[in-house]
Amino acid sequence: MTDSDRKPPESSPHPPKPRPPQRDDDDLPRPSPWGPILLIGVVLTLLLFVNWRPFNSSGPEVDYNFFWKQLDADNIAELTFTGPLVNGKWKKVPEVPASQKKLSETFSLRLPDPARDDQKLADLLRERDVKVKAEDSAPALFGQMMTGTLLLLGMLAIFFFVMRRSIDPAGTAFIGSFGRAGAKRFKQTDQRTTFADVAAMEQAKLELTEIVDFLKSPDKFHKLGAQIPKGVLLMGSPGTGKTLLARATAGEAGVPFFSMNGSEFIQMFVGVGASRVRDLFQQAKENSPCIIFIDEIDAVGRVRGAGLGGGHDEREQTLNQILSEMDGFQATESVIVLAATNRPDVLDPALLRPGRFDRHITIDRPTKEGRLQILKVHVRKVPLAKDVDLADVAASTIGFSGAELKNLVNEAALHAVRSDRSEVTAEDFDVSHDRVLMGAKREEILTEHERSMTAYHEAGHALISWHLPDVDPVHKVTIIPRGRALGVTQLLPEEDRYHYGERRMHSQMAMIMGGRAAEKLIFDEYSAGAEDDLKKATSLARRMVAHWGMSELIGPVAFRQGEEHPFLGKEIHEAREFSEETAHTIDQEVQRFLNDAANKASKLLTEHRDQLDAISKALLKNESIDHADMVKLLGEPVPRTSRSVSA
């Protein structure tokens, strides 16, 4: 198993996504496109000139049969062969019917292929005593050479441009740089998003309503001397709709929206970011009332003086510029600065102090009701079959963010398209749910032994969670290889659980150990497939001992080991604050916790060996079983403790 208890990481680092490079014409030199175009033009003209040299048609072209007749009548004075082309001179200009074009003294002719080395033609020419000359077709050859050269030059030109563009970080498309030197850098978005597009998040919307009111009629506030917070920080995990909410705030107030990503400030050259900040605020002030939105502000707003790699000079300058711009607002200027981040913990305290981003809005993952609302927003354009119950979907997607729900709907629609249906059915949602949660199916042929080992492994997880009342109930068990896993036991976590007790964690560890214990019990060996399980269990045990004071031997102390965000540089300077001895004790306690959990798991499985066999048999037969199937096999599970919703 790999994923038995899906808990989306709360503060997983969310690196700023790479954005398409921002246009920035005035800061960096840009290659002129005119040079190569001129060059290509010249070469083309030359080439045409070469091809048009009148080496071929010295007179009107005549038909091959007509030429034969004239040759028969001994009316040809002279012929010059140039490849398949022949130029000639009549002895006497032949008469043609009035309807046709008059012929002149010379003529040209194109020899059809079979006539090229026609012996009869040669004989007749000799017989009639025609003067025959031959010219080689060098000009044509020259033309070919020119074409080759042209191609080569063209390729060189393209290569040259690609090179230039990759050196210039703010480069734009080759053609795109025409006449756009004065292009707007911070575009106002055209399509209006309003609060109606944002489902749920009532609390956040409520807090932003005041801002909207202010932007709509700033004078009302100014008159009373009321101060509106200049800076609002939206905090929440990725995909919870921060960007969406910021855009909707601007749309709701009907004011311009200047948006920039934090990472766009960071450039190769020190000072570019600061100058962009200056520019952004300048533009905003000219367009007030308006909203400035700095997305993923943690990219610039990290604690100053920290950070490992280079580049923090630029970041500090940029951040300082933002701070001083925010301080420099006049009381009459109605510019609101919104910022979003999923790492509020790393922000520089100076950013958060009063007068700057002092209003904080936390955006949580949606509740069941919220998920239903969000789903409703995203199925607006999706034709649903009658058997789809969105409330059901919402209930089974605990922990999903808005973005994940959107993805779920989209995957379901895609599956419906793939199966050639005109409506999205409940089955599509089911497939999509599995795919989003556990990754795409892998087409893999496993040996009988591998399958059976996987089945027992997953059955082990499932059975232990069946018998331990503190862990979440089993939702589904599969041995269909997906993502990185050969099999998955999926538990149904409880809605909005804030309290995690010690007992629950011990049970959790035992459940995680269940897969491995089953392998040992049945096959008398461990497999490498349990690596993920072990990692998870170990990390849980370590936190219990060192952070949450759950070991009697260690006692109520939190030992920070700076393990959490080593890449921040902030914690890396924090020396370990405990002795070697304590470290040793911690390790021993962690080991004891893990051993206890493993023993508990083995014991439970040995006791219920028949049930273990039954589950794995069902798995091998059906590949996938759910809660109801398990109830049929084993009867009702042990009643859950402290569970507010029944599963």
> Which positions from 395 to 414 touch ligand ADP by CB under 6 A, shown as an x/- string?
-------xx--x--------
Shortest reach from residue 497's CB to ligand ADP, in Å = 21
The only residue of 86, 211, 244, 412 in contact with ligand ADP, by rule CB under 6 A: 244
Contact partner, 230, from ligand ADP, Mg ion, Zn ion, none, Cβ < 5-8 Å per class: none
Is the Cβ of residue 374 or residue 485 nearer to ligand ADP in the bound state? Answer: 374
The DSSP symbol for 310 reads S
Is 625 within 8 Å of 476 (Cβ atoms)? yes
Count CB neighbours of 56 within 10 A. 18
Residue 198 binds to ligand ADP (criterion: CB under 6 A): yes
Q: Which of 407, 410, 405 is nearest to 374 (CA)?
A: 405
Is the Cβ of residue 339 or residue 474 nearer to ligand ADP in the bound state? Answer: 339
Residue 504 binds to ligand ADP (criterion: CB under 6 A): no
Alpha-carbon distance of 119 to 126, in angstroms, equals 11
Contact partner, 154, from Mg ion, ligand ADP, Zn ion, none, Cβ < 5-8 Å per class: none
Contact partner, 533, from ligand ADP, Zn ion, Mg ion, none, Cβ < 5-8 Å per class: Zn ion
Residues 312-341 that bind ligand ADP (CB under 6 A): 340
Is 165 within 8 Å of 157 (Cβ atoms)? no
Residue 240 binds to ligand ADP (criterion: CB under 6 A): yes
Q: How many residues bind ligand ADP (CB under 6 A)?
A: 18
Shortest reach from residue 515's CB to Zn ion, in Å = 3
Alpha-carbon distance of 313 to 302, in angstroms, equals 12
Contact partner, 1, from ligand ADP, Zn ion, Mg ion, none, Cβ < 5-8 Å per class: Zn ion
First to last CA, the chain: 22
Alpha-carbon distance of 345 to 14, in angstroms, equals 13
| Half-sphere exposure (Cβ direction) of 522: Cα atoms closer than 13 Å | 27
Contact partner, 618, from Mg ion, Zn ion, ligand ADP, none, Cβ < 5-8 Å per class: none
Strands (E), 9-69: 61-62
Among the listed ranges 189-197, 240-248, 434-442, 559-567, the one in contact with Mg ion (CB under 5 A) is 240-248
Residue 377 binds to ligand ADP (criterion: CB under 6 A): yes
In the complex, which residue's CB is closest to ligand ADP? 402
Is the Cβ of residue 4 or residue 263 nearer to Mg ion in the bound state? Answer: 263
Shortest reach from residue 449's CB to Mg ion, in Å = 47
In the complex, which residue's CB is closest to Mg ion? 243
Alpha-carbon distance of 202 to 488, in angstroms, equals 35
Q: Is omega for the bond preceding 383 within 30 degrees of 0, making it cis?
A: no
306: alpha, beta or left, given left = phi > 0 and alpha = psi -120 to 50? beta
Alpha-carbon distance of 299 to 312, in angstroms, equals 10
Alpha-carbon distance of 76 to 79, in angstroms, equals 8
Q: Which of 254, 327, 248, 315 is nearest to 289 (CA)?
A: 254
Residue 239 binds to ligand ADP (criterion: CB under 6 A): yes
Pairing of strands 61-62, 106-110: parallel
Shortest reach from residue 326's CB to Mg ion, in Å = 21
Beta bridge partners of 503: none
Residue 201 binds to ligand ADP (criterion: CB under 6 A): yes
Give the 3-state secondary structure of residue 520: helix
Shortest reach from residue 530's CB to ligand ADP, in Å = 34
Is the Cβ of residue 236 or residue 637 nearer to ligand ADP in the bound state? Answer: 236
367: alpha, beta or left, given left = phi > 0 and alpha = psi -120 to 50? beta
Q: Which of 347, 351, 402 is nearest to 377 (CA)?
A: 402
Alpha-carbon distance of 299 to 322, in angstroms, equals 13
The only residue of 533, 593, 602, 616 in contact with Zn ion, by rule CB under 5 A: 533
Contact partner, 404, from ligand ADP, Zn ion, Mg ion, none, Cβ < 5-8 Å per class: none
Residue 487 binds to ligand ADP (criterion: CB under 6 A): no
Is the Cβ of residue 1 or residue 246 nearer to ligand ADP in the bound state? Answer: 246
Catalytic residue chosen out of the listed positions 404, 458, 519, 589:
458
Is the Cβ of residue 136 or residue 202 nearer to ligand ADP in the bound state? Answer: 202
Residue 502 annotated to the active site: no
Shortest reach from residue 392's CB to ligand ADP, in Å = 19
Shortest reach from residue 530's CB to Zn ion, in Å = 6
Is the Cβ of residue 194 or residue 588 nearer to ligand ADP in the bound state? Answer: 194
Shortest reach from residue 201's CB to ligand ADP, in Å = 5
Among the listed ranges 16-24, 198-206, 437-445, 512-520, the one in contact with ligand ADP (CB under 6 A) is 198-206
What would you report as the CA-atom Rg of the chain, rounded to the nearest whole angstrom? 39
- Burial of 309: CB neighbours in 10 Å, binned 0-12, 13-18, 19+: exposed
Shortest reach from residue 14's CB to Mg ion, in Å = 9
- Burial of 181: CB neighbours in 10 Å, binned 0-12, 13-18, 19+: exposed
Is the Cβ of residue 11 or residue 539 nearer to Zn ion in the bound state? Answer: 539
Shortest reach from residue 19's CB to ligand ADP, in Å = 13
DSSP 114-145: GGTT-HHHHHHHHHHT-EEEE---HHHHHHHH
The only residue of 2, 172, 177, 243 in contact with Mg ion, by rule CB under 5 A: 243
Residues 490-529 that bind Zn ion (CB under 5 A): 515
Alpha-carbon distance of 335 to 229, in angstroms, equals 10
Is 59 within 8 Å of 94 (Cβ atoms)? no
Is 522 within 8 Å of 36 (Cβ atoms)? no
Residues that bind Mg ion (CB under 5 A): 243
Residues that bind Zn ion (CB under 5 A): 1, 515, 533
Residues that bind ligand ADP (CB under 6 A): 198-201, 236, 238-244, 340, 374, 377, 402-403, 406
Instruction: Just list the catalytic residues.
Output: 458
